[in-house]
Chains A and B, each alone.
Chain A
Amino acid sequence: MDRARDRQRVSSARIHKGSFGNLRLLWLLVGPGILVMLGENDGPSMLSYAATGARYGVGFFIPFIILTFVMALVVQEMTVRLGAVTHRGHAEMIYDRFGPFWGRFSMIDLMIGNFLTLVTEFIAIRAGLGFFGIPPWAAVLGTLGVLYVALMTHRYWTWERITLAAAMFNLIFVPVALLAHPQWRSIGHALVYWSPLPGGVNKDMVLILLADIGATVTPWMLFFQQSATADKGLTPRDIRFGFTDTLVGALLAATAAVATVIAAAPLFAHHMSAENFQAAQFAEALQPFIGRWGAALFALGMFEAGMVACITISTASAYAFGEVSRQPHSLNLPMSQGKAFYGVLFLEAVAAAGLVLIPGLPLVSVVLVVNVIAVLAMPPALIFLYMLVNDREIMGDFVSPRWANILASLVVILLVGAGILYGISVIAPNLFALIGGN
């Protein structure tokens, strides 16, 4: 009923031609793309970007991060196409088309990856609010409260708009970057020449490279956007708007990511080691360069990044669980009909929240490891997506165009290549030196 109501509004907007009609239609249809992109600018992602700026300054990594968002745009567009044509979630399609064996495999990958990522979101939340003197238990409980309020609307549209409004605060990193007095000339040079890369290619650089890819392209995004596209009720006529939605999301998220690198660059310029910094320590270290307000905004940004991702990632898990277990799965469901859906969503968040309250947990190591695992798990997930979106039996005339397939193949090759480079740097450092690393 709720979805029908949403579709009626879309049909009404279609009747009104002209730029106002198109803008209204876009307003009604945007959501999953912006949410997935800003949701992926999560706690560990922002921490990776800050570590990048602090260790490498403004140079190679700025254009590289923009490239990772292009990669994300290519693969996320495929999920819109698939969700709008099949009206099914990603996990459900893998389960149906490739059978329970591969369906369960991809579901287990997703659940483990999401749980670990959720732990890192609560690390960011705890660290971000720690800057303001808020104790960890209060930070964690407050976030669970926000998650509960967002879910209790029992309406996809309301949930989406609340989460979108919260996600927009990701752009808080833009004023922080401006407070760092960026060298525009250096940024322009970096964008054109992809340099400098201080220290060259070495083991640490490969780790940051992988962490930055994992900060933009991860399996939960595929599951979330396809399921949200189906839950929102998008149809093949809306694919064009779904792409615009994803493009706008990618532009906003890339802006926030690059701003974070620029904001942390003063640490590089002043040769300050940020090797084991958490969010709050980044904010404290930056305070002499960007002032108390800038540092407070930075810490607030870390908290916001963790909180929004906490909402979207736990939702992605609940969608996948419902799709595979054949339980009702929609944010439009009342609690009585969606007990399993809301239960999985909330329990996963509570378990992750509880873990970060354990004293002595090596939080920074957990963040890095989780980002690396996300990159490694991406190629198997992408192959399922690639095959589904090229499956003429389910997609008909909406199969992925050739250019998108070529780009998606390049993304898989790049991800596998980065993973192999990381593997060589860890287990065979001598071989790594032979191929040009140091």
Chain B
Amino acid sequence: MSEAPKSDVDRVSAENSAWVMQSLEAGQLASARSKHYPRRPLKRSEAILFWGLRMYLLFMLGVVVYQVWTTAH
């Protein structure tokens, strides 16, 4: 195992770069992280579930507002 560089002065040196690549997993490197996972198409049932829960949240937030309003009055 190679020794960790002692200072950050040589951040971009080739030697440091090799050490970083050896220490991290491929997926952890900046080059890999700049790539994005492909989009996953939603099935109909999943879209219904997402929208259903969104409606639930909006409705329940209305209930909270109603409770705050009735308590205040």
Binding site for B on A (CB under 8 A): 1, 3-5, 7-8, 11-12, 86-88, 92-93, 96-99, 102, 105, 109, 233, 235, 365, 369, 372-373, 376-377, 379-380, 383, 387, 391, 393-394, 416, 419, 422-423, 426-427
Chain A nearest Cβ from B39, distance in angstroms? 5
B25 touches A93 (CB 8 A): no
B37 touches A423 (CB 8 A): no
A376 touches B16 (CB 8 A): no
Q: Report Cα–Cα, A233/B26, bound state, in Å.
A: 12
Contacts of B33 on A, CB cut-off 8 Å? 87-88
A391 touches B40 (CB 8 A): yes
Main DSSP-derived SS at the B contact region: helix
A87 touches B68 (CB 8 A): no
Known: A8-B4, A369-B64, A376-B64. A105 touches B37 (CB 8 A): no
Chain A nearest Cβ from B67, distance in angstroms? 5
A4 touches B57 (CB 8 A): no
Q: Report Cα–Cα, A87/B35, bound state, in Å.
A: 12
4 additional contacts, CB 8 Å, given A380-B56, A423-B63, A426-B63?
Answer: A4-B19, A369-B64, A422-B63, A423-B60
Chain B nearest Cβ from A379, distance in angstroms? 5
Binding site for A on B (CB under 8 A): 1, 4-5, 8, 11, 16, 19-20, 23-25, 27-28, 32-33, 36-40, 42, 46, 49-50, 53-54, 56-57, 59-61, 63-64, 66-68, 71
Contacts of B71 on A, CB cut-off 8 Å? 365
Chain B nearest Cβ from A333, distance in angstroms? 12
Contacts of B28 on A, CB cut-off 8 Å? 3, 7, 87, 233, 235
A380 touches B54 (CB 8 A): yes
Chain B nearest Cβ from A101, distance in angstroms? 10
Known: A86-B27, A102-B50. A1 touches B16 (CB 8 A): yes
Task: Please pick, from A4, A93, A383, the residue contacting B37 in the complex, using a CB distance under 8 A.
Answer: A93
B23 touches A87 (CB 8 A): no
B23 touches A376 (CB 8 A): no
Task: Please pick, from A87, A379, A393, A426, the residue contacting B53 in the complex, using a CB distance under 8 A.
Answer: A379
7 smallest beta-carbon distances between A and B, as pairs: A4-B23, A380-B53, A96-B37, A4-B20, A376-B60, A87-B27, A97-B40
Nearest B residue to A96, CB-CB: B37
Q: Report Cα–Cα, A422/B59, bound state, in Å.
A: 12
